Amino acid sequence: MLAQEEARLLNHSYIGTEHILLGLIHEGEGVAAKALESLNISLEAVRAQVEEIIGQGGSSPSGHIPFTPRAKKVLELSLREALQLGHNYIGTEHILLGLIREGEGVAAQVLVKLGADLSRVRQQVIQLLSGYQGPAGKGEGQ
């Protein structure tokens, strides 16, 4: 999972909303990455903000890296977003919408700091989805 990879890169022993956001951008192809790119939100800018807010961890974690309670909440909200949109899969777009709906984690703070109004990010995702018919065969972002 890209969020875990991002947590390791920052020497963090947990996966928070910020790592999920970094993973969504790092993935590069999904609706979430495209929505953020269209709002001029880059992987480098997000990573710099995360390092500024949280800093680097002391040493690289080994083994399993757990999700924070807030990150778990975001994943639950992603499922709700998918169901609300009538989708039978959870894609990067639903995870991004979950991050926005949660609204208080480091990821949401970073987006706001980078000038991406959360309602505008949501609007951008919905706009991209209106021209997107869902995955052919497998879930978006898997």
pLDDT at 41 over 90: no
What tens digit of pLDDT does each residue of 99-129 get?
988 888 889 888 888 888 788 888 888 888 8
| pTM for the model | 0.80
Write down the residue that tokens 């969504």 correspond to: 24
What tens digit of pLDDT does each residue of 13-39 get?
889 999 999 998 888 888 788 888 888
The first and second tokens of residue 13, run together, are 């022993």
- Give start and end residues of each alpha helix (H) in the chain: 2-9, 17-27, 31-38, 43-53, 69-84, 92-102, 106-113, 118-130
For the domain made up of 2-130, give the CATH fold: Double Clp-N motif (1.10.1780)
pLDDT at site 138: 40
What tens digit of pLDDT does each residue of 78-89 get?
999 999 888 888
Q: Give the torsion sign (CA, 43, 103, 12, 28).
A: negative
The first and second tokens of residue 42, run together, are 């880059």
pLDDT at site 132: 54
